[in-house]
Structure formats: C-alpha cells, structure tokens
Amino acid sequence: MAKFVIPEDGNRSQFSVYANHAEAFNWFLNDPLVDVELGDATRKTKSIPGHQRRRGPSDLNPVNVTQSQADYLVDPTLKSGNAKPGISFILKTTKNSDIDEQRQFTTTGRTLDFVEYFSGKMKYETYFYPANGGRHTLKLGAAQGG
C-alpha cells in the first residue's frame, strides 16, 4: 500500500492519500509524488508480570502464573482486512480528455485541502468524487496549458 503525505501550508492542513499502488495515483499527476517509507517490520519483546489465575468461577485455589517474556511483531504496513484509513474518493478523467480512466483511493484530510492542493497539478482534467460530498473538477497543470 502506498501512502503520500502532503504537508500543511498556510491555511491548508496536512493530509495523507492512500493507494494500493503508487503508480495508480501518480498516473493522474504531472509531477509524481514520493511514497512515504513506512519502515520495516521489527521484532519486540515485552515482559509479562507474574499473576494469579482462577480456573473457573468456583475455583477456590487460584494458580500462580510465573513471569515470562513474549515476542511480537511490529509491522507498520499491517492493515486489518481490506480497510484503508480515511475517506474514500474516486478520480476520473473528464469527457474532455482523450483517455477514460477511473481509480479509487482514500484520504485522511479535508476535501477542501485536497482540492486546493491538487487543482492545477493534474495531467488531465479530472473529476474528484469524495464519499462525503459532491463532484469537484481538478484543473490541468501549467505544462498542459491549463
């Protein structure tokens, strides 16, 4: 999974965009964004203190569990099921484009910040359909004469 972080600038808040593949999102842009390195999985160890445990509600003689060590994996790329964080949105090229392309992504930021940042940075005139609002049109970048 690819993650792009757009830093805050003035009134615009920081937001992130998540895609299954970096190339899928960068296809729409004049200047490709760099995928944030999430890091490698690391193995950690923690100490579990000794404690008493009852075998059932009527157990009058609890068992003492000795202190032990537990190993676990910390993986920043791990996700639960198919869930991606944030609000789902679709990018679709407009009818004015020669190419008909549509792809779905998610963002953790506000729609306002997304539209403000990406308007004028698109390779093609593109519709932005957020799950929580109406359609916005993202304009072409300066290299395309827009």
Report the alpha-carbon distance of residue 25 to residue 4 in Å, rounded: 10
The SS3 of residue 111 is helix
Model confidence over 65-88: pLDDT tens digits?
A: 999 999 988 877 666 666 778 899
What is the pTM for the complete model shown?
0.67
Closest listed residue to residue 15, CA positions, set 128, 115, 83, 124: 115
Q: How confident is the model over 121-127, as a mean pLDDT?
A: 91
pLDDT averaged over every residue in the chain = 87
